Chain A
Amino acid sequence: MSVPILEVIDLHAAYGRIEVLRGVDLTVPKGAVVALLGPNGAGKSTLLKVISGQMKQTSGDVHLGGVHVQNPKPDELARLGLTTIPEGRSVFPNLTVEDNLLLVSYAGVPARDVMDTAYSYFPQLHQRRSQLAGTMSGGEQQMLAMARALASDPALLLLDELSMGLAPLIVDELYETVARIAQSGVSILVVEQFARTALRVSDYGAVMSGGRIVMTGEPNEIEKDMADMILGGVL
């Protein structure tokens, strides 16, 4: 088996004195899509923050492509091929669509190619290229965010709560895009609360609860057992 693109080993992290991650172990194999599921407050977003370099862990290790990373800066990781789409709309509202795409080129892809890719996948964005991103609908903004995921040609893509505040129909469309990105060989770690939608496009699933990974497995196993697992934990 080849070296996994992401390996998280016994990761601990805390906000002040409140420990949020209490020993997380997670592996994303190269080229795979892993869905990270779990209830609110499980630590999913915190895990992504540590992986993307926005937050420092208190202990534990993160390996990216087999390399142990220490105190990475988010911008360095981004330029090395880690694309993170954070929670909420991850676009710059006061910049035009074209300016937003221009900034994607920091990831190492020429701006012209970024725009070609983006506009060929989402012709709608081409119509709106000189409009301020903040004035577009939520779905269109998320489209722009996905265009970044597509065009930046990442080695690993971290997606946080794509579905937040969007209509189910649009969520389905977005996940079709995720599946398409996955087909091009990109490894993806996707955090989601809507388990079924995310598992449909995943190769593996992992369930987080109380700052730990409590379950991993094939999507169908997870889908079967997760409700029991979480509800059982509560009851």
Chain B
Amino acid sequence: MDALLAYTVTGIFTGAAYAIAASGLVLTYSTTRVFNVAHGALGMLMAFVFWDFSVRQGLPSWLAFVLVVFVVAPLIGVFVQRVLARGLGEAPVGVGLVVTVGIFVGVIGLAQQIWPPAARPLNQFFNQSGTHIGSLFVTWHQILTIALSGVVAVGLYFLLTRTRVGASMRASVDNPELLQLYGGRPDVVAALAWAIGTSLAALAGILLAPIVGLDYYSLTLLVINAYAAAMLGKLKNLPLTFVGAMGLGLIQAYAVGYLPSDAAFSGLRAVVPTLFLFAVIVLMPQAQLRIGQVKGIVSAPVASLGRSVSFGGVLVFAVAVAVVFLSNSNILLLGTAATYAIVMLSLVLLTGYGGHVSLAQFSFAGVGALAYAKLDSPNLLGLLLAAVIAAFIGALVALPVLRLTGLYLALSTLAFGQLMDKLVFQDSHAFGFNGTLTAGRLSVLGIRFTDTGSYVVLMSIFFVLVAILLLALRRGQLGRVLVAMRDSQAGCATLGLDVRWLRVGLFAASAGIAGFAGALFAGLRGTIGAQDFQFFSSLLLVLVAVVWGVTSVTGAALGGMFLMLLPVLQSDNPSIAGLAFAVVGFGAVALGRDSNGLANRLFVIGRFLRDQAFEVVRSMPDLRGDQDLDAEPDLASDEREVTDHAAAASH
């Protein structure tokens, strides 16, 4: 009985912290239509600031608390809304996701840069003291958290339903222009919502930090659990969000207490929130089509078959030459880049053409690698089977959310990524906890590519083949349907296109390509483990893909190189490891609005140079023509003629 009570108190405490974080998320989403993936990361950042104020600077805890929650966090919230997330509400869902994932990664990088990894103990408020309720010891910290969640709940409810500012917060979602005509200020209202939202994230972060420890990832991911709670209220309903948060906290506490403690269940505990999120998303009612959102992006040019084949040939040749001169470790890096580039091709299909965001592409690659290693038939058939298995898993992820679009689909991939990360890959039937598997090098038609150099050339050939396939697809009818689906779901619906199965197919194909890349990677490395396919890398992948251009094959190739160089750069210069993340994250924030990315700018430069070259060629006869025209009227030309004659005469 005492144990049950103890778990219940823990559950309510965690639930209260989730509730505080989740209500902040709901507030920002319901006023600006921006789903802030970085909500958890901001909470983590604020917890570090709190540590800095209270422990490193030695301020009293209460003062640090007030400073962070009421000064620093609101300011950061306003900054994020004004500068980083400006205008995202009207942008396509994918853009909003990419930009906020950019903030997420950037904030983690920033925190690592400012506060390098070290042990940072943080005490609970009131120095762990507490009181006895019956026979149970409850810390004041826990009571404070539970009380604060109540204050937040009542306060937010009052703000939103009983005040004019609250009414204009809800009004600004409907129609900000109209709100202006009423005399309201939508930008002020949005800034206020983000200020409060970030404060709540900070509050949750500070309250949770003493319990889970000051860690960049676990604190961030803990607040991600708030997503699950917020989903229960469909990101709008505050009371349901509170119910969801409390329920989640309790389930989690009971899972810790009552699930059998053998290995099979140990992973399960960590993914309770993820399963909860997945269940809520699956049970969500049909999403309504958003009408009047035809904001198609200008697509990057699609290369013709001839051009793509010749460029591909050049690429393979370049790799073949490079392999001869590079050292073995660098060849391995080149192979890694090829893997990343193929995974990015899967994003070109899914995000660039299809307009959906997947936050778990590396998990699919991991599935492919796992299948390849387990099948243990290192030939084309094994490779293909690995890709098919990954595609099948991709379809399984997309199936339950057949009815949902955009944000919910992306969040279900996020849940899937976490599930694979914490549960499946760690399982003893898969890679095992911190374990690895061995995989053989691929043999094609009996020829075994044991030499790393030739294997990497083979990988580059595969990259080119997949790229040519994708471009052919994009040029054809299916490609047009995909782009139509991306630009206007409502338009497709009125044309009678059933886009749901197409979406599942698209997801499967994309996961298949990623799995294919993963299988190739397994063959390249020989030994692979769960740490090669971490969930966080998938986020980086999306960001890098968008920065370099997710609508073009060139962007994928450049992005693959970049993503390979990033960890190399970080391990060469550990002092700026965090900064590198921050640069990628905030780079994506800056460039995320144009998903054609840097590659498209290169195309523009390329076209400009080509046009210039043509201009020179074309202007040559023109110049002569100009001279002829000039020659007639003026005297100077007569003189020139004379000198010309003179020159001719001297010959």
Interface residues of A (CB under 8 A from B): 52, 54, 73-75, 78-79, 83-84, 86, 90, 92-95, 99, 102-108, 111, 148
Contact = CB atoms under 8 A, between A and B. Distances in A.
Contact of A95 (B170, B177, B181, B183): B170
B243 interface: no
Nearest to B171: A92
Given A93-B174, A94-B173, A95-B174, A103 B167 contact: yes
A74 B175 CA distance: 14
A148 B164 CA distance: 15
A75 B173 contact: no
Contacts of B183: 75, 78-79, 106-108
Given A78-B180, A92-B178, A95-B174, 8 more contacts: A74-B177, A75-B181, A99-B171, A103-B179, A103-B182, A104-B182, A105-B164, A106-B184
Interface residues on B, range: 10 to 19
Which among B168, B182, B185 has the greatest number of chain A C-beta atoms within 10 A? B182
Interface in B159-210: 164, 167-168, 170-171, 173-175, 177-185
Given A54-B177, A92-B174, A99 B167 contact: yes
Contacts, number: 65
Interface of B: 164, 167-168, 170-171, 173-175, 177-185
A108 B182 CA distance: 10
A181 to B, nearest CB: 17
B312 to A, nearest CB: 40
B181 A52 contact: yes
Nearest to B184: A106
Given A103-B164, A105-B164, A106-B164, A74 B171 contact: no
Contacts of B182: 75, 78, 103-104, 106-107, 148
B168 A74 contact: no
A102 B178 contact: no
Contacts of B171: 92, 95, 99, 103
Contacts of B168: 103, 106
A103 B177 contact: no
Contacts of A54: 177, 180-181
A74 B185 CA distance: 9
Contacts of A107: 182-183
Given A94-B170, A103-B167, A75 B177 contact: no
A90 B181 CA distance: 9
Nearest to B172: A92
Contacts of B181: 52, 54, 74-75, 78, 83-84, 86, 90
B21 to A, nearest CB: 25
Contacts of B174: 92-95
B190 to A, nearest CB: 13
Contacts of A94: 170, 173-174
A94 B160 CA distance: 13
A92 B175 contact: yes
A159 B164 CA distance: 25
Nearest to B162: A102
Which 5 pairs, one residue from A and one from B, show the smallest C-beta to C-beta distance?
A106-B183, A78-B183, A74-B180, A79-B183, A99-B167
B180 A103 contact: no
Contacts of B180: 54, 73-75, 78
Contacts of B167: 95, 99, 102-103
Contacts of B177: 54, 74, 86
A54 B186 CA distance: 14
B167 to A, nearest CB: 4
A90 to B, nearest CB: 6
Nearest to A75: B180
A90 B179 CA distance: 10
B651 to A, nearest CB: 57
A94 B177 CA distance: 15
Nearest to B188: A75
Nearest to B167: A99
Given A92-B175, A103-B179, A75 B184 contact: yes
Contacts of A75: 179-185
A86 B178 CA distance: 8
Contacts of A90: 178, 181
B170 A99 contact: yes
A101 to B, nearest CB: 10
A26 B173 CA distance: 35
A86 to B, nearest CB: 6
Contacts of A84: 181
A74 B181 CA distance: 6
A69 to B, nearest CB: 15
6 contacts: A52-B181, A75-B182, A99-B170, A103-B171, A103-B182, A107-B183
A81 to B, nearest CB: 10
B71 to A, nearest CB: 27
Contacts of A103: 164, 167-168, 171, 179, 182, 184
A71 to B, nearest CB: 14
Contacts of A78: 180-183
Contacts of A83: 181
A99 B179 CA distance: 12
A226 B646 CA distance: 78
B66 to A, nearest CB: 32
A221 B526 CA distance: 91
A103 B166 CA distance: 10
A48 to B, nearest CB: 10
A94 B236 CA distance: 12
A104 B184 CA distance: 9
Which among A102, A103, A104, A111 has the greatest number of chain B C-beta atoms within 10 A? A103
Contacts of A92: 170-171, 174-175, 178-179
Contacts of A79: 183
Nearest to B161: A99
